């Protein structure tokens, strides 16, 4: 807990100063992410999950949860959380680590030997992509890919020609049973969502306290109070779920816990974005007002690495096909975290 | 740090978990002949003989000190017991209130004589309590209670009426919130809690049949009931503060998550058969599970706060709101699954359980503070009031 807090405190200050809404807008508008990344790299955050004997800090998922949450709360437009996971995987595979940021993506080898990643989150600003495909894992440089834009402005579809694919060695990081790239990405995305959910809630609460209509703050109206109460319930539950997703003392999460984390945070994303905009009214709908930086991400992250329904199916299979007897026993397995993870 | 990010993952201590296997084995035998639609009543199910059996095993009043017949164990031991009772559908309604609220209240505010008098019998499963709060004109607006205990030289004279009192017709005592001074306009001032022996002359208990045909709640009339001075529990005039503290403890427990769990497990058992399995049902099961899991983690985390002596009132209200919403979603969603199929031979017992839970589900968000009252509390906690 204390390591976690110290680490998060350092990130909080840096992100507050360097990842301002202006910086987010500039990068979304095509500006270079390099200056922002340099700050983060120099802060030592990107190597947090790499073991100490390989030059990292050797933290666990539970210990970086706070930083990931902050990345979400600042709409960080570079893949810090992804780079942290990718560097740890590379270290585990014994592969050299390139400079710069690394996105994570599922890929497909095409008949001619090309490699295509239909959806690379932050693929427009990343330096490399760690790709998992049917034949293993490969680290691909973004500069060598053909890039097409996707719906969210910082994401991209990337395709590497066969001549590029053969240059990249196939890596085999040792992953536990059931853990794949999507699980890892869902785990970190849930933490990002938890941070963004909290931010949207706090903004909306503040707006309700400041905006006057009918001679008083709109937050004094019971109808608005109840909407905010329901919104806060989603934020409260989603954060607990995201913490569950990151529970554990190593690099790898538990797949069922990730199913809980990603589905609960995704469901909350929809509800919180909706109420946030409803309470803000027209001003929240403008480009210049910061709310949109976060609500657009709530939707993008909900849709990333499996929406709630995708993970409901995973959890449902664990419960219906992989479990017999009382639901309570699977609930206990999913929520009773190991002692070390609760140490304060 | 705000209320919304105040929870850390917590774990039930190993010494409390140690009891679980023994309780599970006992319950497996004790409820094996009860059909699911009866087990679904759980903390609404009345069985005095069963309560005495639990008392004999030391599983009532487990947190009370040994000198009063209790188990001297932590609140987490009780948490484990309650999870098992609810998940297995044990009929724990008879002693539920005495175990959850009345015993701890008497321990906290009672005189030595009161503790000696009531607590050992509570722990044996021989003294059952009900809570006298609501009145015909005092529901959500609890501070407007009119039932009056007029102090005199011999104690109090009690007049008035309580309503919606769960299990009053099967209970020995009521802890009632009454006015001992002032008028209803004084609101929170002048209220006190008194223990009323329900066998006293002047007490009339009338069961009210609910929409499912059960008679679990009652109206209770007091007509010049003479109460001895030691009927007062705690301080005269401090009734509101005592009641508020009591409510905080009852809002985040497993009973706010698991009211539909017997139905959920009964449905899952059918989904695990070839006739019952469908992809959409599996996905729905996953949805419910992924909502239950964070709630269980939150409930355990809040219990850890309570154990440390903190008072997480808003957190508890958040859990109750979320938990009861899910409890009500479960029968609605299961019905849609079962009756959204082209044809299926759904087991009759599953349908009976579904029917029972569907009928009683509205009560989940009424008991212990309605949805709207809780949202108001949450709004206050957020600084909006």
Backbone angles phi and psi of B157, in degrees to 5: -115, 125
The pTM of the full predicted model, rounded to 2 decimals, is 0.96
In a domain, B222, yes or no: yes
Yes or no: say if B160 and B196 are a contact pair by the CB < 8 Å rule.
no
Q: Which residue of B has its CA nearest to A235?
A: B4
In a domain, A225, yes or no: yes
Distance CA B296, CA A336 (A): 10
Yes or no: say if B354 and B338 are a contact pair by the CB < 8 Å rule.
yes
**Residues A141, A193 share a domain:** no
In a domain, A70, yes or no: yes
In a domain, B101, yes or no: yes
From the centroid of its chain, how far is CA A342? 22
Whether A255 has its CB under 8 Å from any CB of chain B: the answer is no
For residue A157, give the CATH number of its domain.
Answer: 1.10.540.10
pLDDT digits (tens, 9 = 90+) for B27-51: 999 999 999 999 999 888 889 999 9
Interface contact flag, B375 A308, Cβ < 8 Å: no
- Residue A1 confidence class, pLDDT cut points 50, 70, 90: very low
**How many alpha carbons lie under 13 Å from residue B383 in its C-beta half-sphere?**
11
Q: Which 8-state DSSP code applies to residue B253?
A: S
- Alpha-helical (H) ranges within chain B are 14-17, 20-30, 36-39, 48-56, 75-88, 93-97, 103-109, 112-123, 239-249, 261-271, 279-307, 313-338, 348-364, 371-381
**Residues B136, B116 share a domain:** no
**Residues A153, A190 share a domain:** no
pLDDT digits (tens, 9 = 90+) for B147-161: 999 999 999 999 999
Whether B383 has its CB under 8 Å from any CB of chain A: the answer is yes
pLDDT digits (tens, 9 = 90+) for B291-322: 999 999 999 999 999 889 888 889 999 999 99
- Determine the angle formed by the axes of helices A61-73 and A181-210, rounding to 10 degrees: 50
Q: Give the model's pLDDT for residue A111.
A: 96
Terminal alpha carbon distance of chain B = 20
In a domain, B355, yes or no: yes
Q: Which residues in chain A are closer than 8 Å to B298, comparing Cβ atoms?
A: 236-237, 240
Distance CA B233, CA B299 (A): 29
Q: Which residue of B has its CA nearest to A236?
A: B4
A256 Cβ contact partners less than 8 Å away, ≥ 6 residues apart: A314, A315, A318, A330, A333, A334
A88 Cβ contact partners less than 8 Å away, ≥ 6 residues apart: A49, A50, A51, A56, A251
Catalytic residues of B: 250
How close A220 gets to chain B, by Cα (Å)?
Answer: 6
For residue B283, give the CATH number of its domain.
Answer: 1.20.140.10
In a domain, A173, yes or no: no
Whether B228 has its CB under 8 Å from any CB of chain A: the answer is no
Q: Which domain holds residue B329?
A: 251-381
**Residues B255, B377 share a domain:** yes
ipTM: 0.96
For residue B214, give the CATH number of its domain.
Answer: 2.40.110.10
Q: How many CB atoms lie within 10 A of CB B163?
A: 20
B190: helix, coil or strand?
Answer: coil
Q: Which residues in chain B are closer than 8 Å to A219, comparing Cβ atoms?
A: 384
Interface contact flag, B272 A324, Cβ < 8 Å: yes
Q: How many CB atoms lie within 10 A of CB B342?
A: 4
**A235: enclosing H helix or E strand:** helix A222-245
Q: Which domain holds residue A286?
A: 181-342
CA pseudo-torsion sign B106, B111, B116, B117: negative
Nearest CB to B11: which of A244, A318, A339?
A: A339
- Alpha-helical (H) ranges within A19-169 are 21-28, 34-42, 61-73, 80-93, 162-165
Average pLDDT over residues B375-382: 94
How close B255 gets to chain A, by Cα (Å)?
Answer: 13
For residue A200, give the CATH number of its domain.
Answer: 1.20.140.10
**Residues A64, A142 share a domain:** yes
């Amino acid at each position: 807990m204390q390591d976690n807090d110290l680490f998060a405190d350092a990130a909080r200050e840096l992100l507050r100063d360097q990842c301002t809404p202006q910086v987010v807008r500039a990068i979304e508008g095509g500006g270079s992410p390099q200056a922002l990344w340099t700050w983060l790299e120099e802060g030592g955050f990107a190597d947090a999950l790499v073991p100490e004997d390989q030059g990292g800090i050797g933290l666990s998922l539970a210990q970086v949860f706070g930083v990931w949450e902050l990345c979400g709360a600042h709409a960080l437009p570079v893949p810090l959380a992804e780079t942290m996971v990718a560097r740890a995987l590379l270290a585990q595979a014994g592969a050299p680590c390139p400079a710069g940021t690394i996105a994570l993506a599922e890929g497909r080898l095409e008949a001619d030997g090309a490699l295509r990643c239909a959806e690379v989150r932050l693929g427009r600003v990343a330096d490399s992509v760690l790709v998992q495909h049917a034949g293993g894992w490969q680290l691909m440089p973004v500069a060598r890919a053909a890039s097409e834009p996707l719906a969210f402005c910082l994401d991209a579809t990337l395709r590497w020609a066969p001549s590029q694919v053969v240059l990249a060695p196939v890596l085999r990081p040792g992953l536990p049973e059931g853990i794949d790239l999507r699980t890892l990405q869902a785990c970190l995305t849930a933490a990002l969502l938890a941070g963004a959910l909290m931010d949207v809630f706090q903004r909306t609460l503040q707006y309700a306290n400041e905006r006057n209509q009918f001679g008083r703050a709109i937050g004094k109206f019971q109808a608005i109070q109840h909407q905010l109460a329901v919104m806060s319930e989603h934020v409260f539950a989603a954060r607990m779920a995201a913490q569950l997703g990151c529970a554990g003392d190593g690099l790898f999460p538990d797949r069922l816990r990730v199913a809980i984390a990603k589905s609960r945070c995704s469901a909350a994303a929809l509800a919180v974005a909706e109420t946030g905009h409803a309470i803000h009214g027209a001003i929240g709908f403008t480009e210049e007002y910061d709310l949109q930086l976060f609500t657009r991400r709530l939707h993008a992250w909900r849709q990333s690495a499996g929406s709630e329904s995708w993970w409901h199916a995973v959890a449902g299979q664990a419960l219906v096909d992989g479990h017999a007897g009382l639901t309570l026993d699977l609930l206990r397995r999913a929520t009773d975290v190991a002692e070390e993870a609760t140490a304060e | 740090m705000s209320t919304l990010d105040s929870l850390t993952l917590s774990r039930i201590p190993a010494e409390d978990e140690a009891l679980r296997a023994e309780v599970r084995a006992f319950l497996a035998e004790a409820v094996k002949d009860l059909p699911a639609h009866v087990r679904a009543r759980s903390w609404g199910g009345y069985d005095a003989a069963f309560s005495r059996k639990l008392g004999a095993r030391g599983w009532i009043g487990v947190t009370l000190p040994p000198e009063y017949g209790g188990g001297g164990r932590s609140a987490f031991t009780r948490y484990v017991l309650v999870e098992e009772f609810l998940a297995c559908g044990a009929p724990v309604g008879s002693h539920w209130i005495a175990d959850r609220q009345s015993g701890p209240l008497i321990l906290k505010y009672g005189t030595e004589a009161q503790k000696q008098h009531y607590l050992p019998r509570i722990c044996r499963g021989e003294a059952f309590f009900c809570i006298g709060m609501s009145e015909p004109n005092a529901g959500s607006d609890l501070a407007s209670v009119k039932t009056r205990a007029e102090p005199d030289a011999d104690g109090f004279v009690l007049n008035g009426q309580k309503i919606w009192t769960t299990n009053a017709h099967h209970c020995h005592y009521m802890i009632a919130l009454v006015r001992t001074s002032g008028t209803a306009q004084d609101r929170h001032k002048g209220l006190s809690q008194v223990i009323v022996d329900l066998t006293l002359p002047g007490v009339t208990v009338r069961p009210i049949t609910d929409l499912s045909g059960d008679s679990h709640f009652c109206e209770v009339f007091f007509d010049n009931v003479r109460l001895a001075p030691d009927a007062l529990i705690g301080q005269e005039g401090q009734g509101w503060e005592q009641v508020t503290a009591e409510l905080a403890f009852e809002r985040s427990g497993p009973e706010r998550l698991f009211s539909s769990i017997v139905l959920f497990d009964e449905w899952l058992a059918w989904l695990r058969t070839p006739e019952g399995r469908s992809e959409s049902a599996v996905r729905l099961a996953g949805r419910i599970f992924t909502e239950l899991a964070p709630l269980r983690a939150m409930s355990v985390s809040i219990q850890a706060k309570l154990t440390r002596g903190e008072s997480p009132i808003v957190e508890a209200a958040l859990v109750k709101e979320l938990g009861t919403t899910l409890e009500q979603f479960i029968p609605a969603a299961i019905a849609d699954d079962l009756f959204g199929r082209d044809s299926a031979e759904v087991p009759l017992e599953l349908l009976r359980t579904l029917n029972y839970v569907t009928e009683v589900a509205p009560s989940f968000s009424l008991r212990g503070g309605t949805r709207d009252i809780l949202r108001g509390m949450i709004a206050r906690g957020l600084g909006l009031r």
